[in-house]
Amino acid sequence: MASYSASLRLSRNGEQVLGQPRTIANWLFVVASLVVLIVFVGGITRLTESGLSITHWSVVTGILPPLTETAWQAEFDLYRQTGEYRFESGPAGMDLAAFKFIYFWEWFHRILGRVIGLAFLLPMIWFWMKGAIPQGYKPRLIALFALICGQGALGWYMVASGVGTDLTDVSHFRLSAHLLTALFLLGGLVWTALDLRALHRDPAARPARLSPFGLGVGLVLFIQLLLGAWVAGLNAGHAAYDWPLMNGQIVPEWDESRSFLSALTHDPFLIHFLHRWWAWLAVAALVWLARRVRKADRKASIAIHTAFGVQILLGIATVMTEVSLWIAVLHQLVGALLVAAAAWGLHREGTRSIAAS
């Protein structure tokens, strides 16, 4: 058998195609790791209420933070015009040192976004020019890069909802779109990398496809992630600090003057309650997925079990520590790792579906 270090591969119909699937897969895993990192930093940004500290979007000039005290004061003056500062800072307000702290996290979050864009774009161009991208994968790489660009736009769209208004937070709908797009990007990177790993092992391997079962698991997980994003956006983690009860009740009281649809999308008590208990449906779906792929890929099964087990414990700890910053941030980090593990399992399950067809 020819060495896999060579770039020549054969497609299923016998045509010669150039490609370096293993190298490209490793590159995509690196980008996926950066996405996990930015989700982690995004959690810090949200929990420290740093997101509105930069009130403008400057793609190029925004790379450098303020370098003089005058520049810092100008940025601080812009922030003091936001509803978050005017209505939440209290009578004493916020000093410049405290502003610099929250500014750092938002700046770092935006810089990581630019790093991810370049870490994807530049190697993709190089692989493309070298003819190293296997047949059929160029459109997928373009789509992944479009998601990265879309993330930047969604991030500013989210921030803009809290700038120049009397709102003290960004829109939880826009925040959820921003977070879920990042997690979808993460899943796409992992899935594509696994397809390329399979192609490295077998030049005739076909890309995995999402089975109806996998689609169901993905939907259950999507709803849980959406509820989690709304909990974050509405500060609903503070709705109750006891577990498994909420404020001493199994079902908490919520604003019954709202319609059910309005309460479902806006009431922090109801959304917190649903996020708690939908989690167990997500656990059941993930256990089922892990068992289905256990024989084919034991490591994927272990990764899924480990991720959701740690995630449940961190979720409970977040509540009972009254949303401790670092526990809550770890909850978001492990949520991203859970998405990666689920993508791994769903990919393996999709491969089984192809083999059975």
Q: What is the pLDDT of residue 167?
A: 63
Q: What is the pLDDT of residues 180-223, one digit of tens each?
A: 999 999 999 999 999 999 999 888 888 999 999 999 999 999 99
Structural element, H or E, at residue 9: strand 8-10
Pull the structure tokens for residue 291.
């068992």
| pLDDT at residue 238 tops 60 | yes
3-state SS assignment for residue 10: strand
Q: What is the pLDDT of residues 135-184, one digit of tens each?
A: 999 999 999 999 999 998 998 888 888 776 666 678 899 999 999 999 99
Mean pLDDT of 230-240: 93
**Distances from the Cα of 18 to the Cαs of 3, 200, 292, in angstroms?**
14, 12, 34
Euclidean distance between CA atoms 167 and 79, whole angstroms: 13
Q: What is the pLDDT of residues 93-151, one digit of tens each?
A: 688 888 899 999 999 999 999 999 999 999 999 999 998 999 999 999 999 999 999 99
Q: Please name which of 332, 350, 340 lies closest in space to residue 178, comparing C-alpha atoms.
A: 332
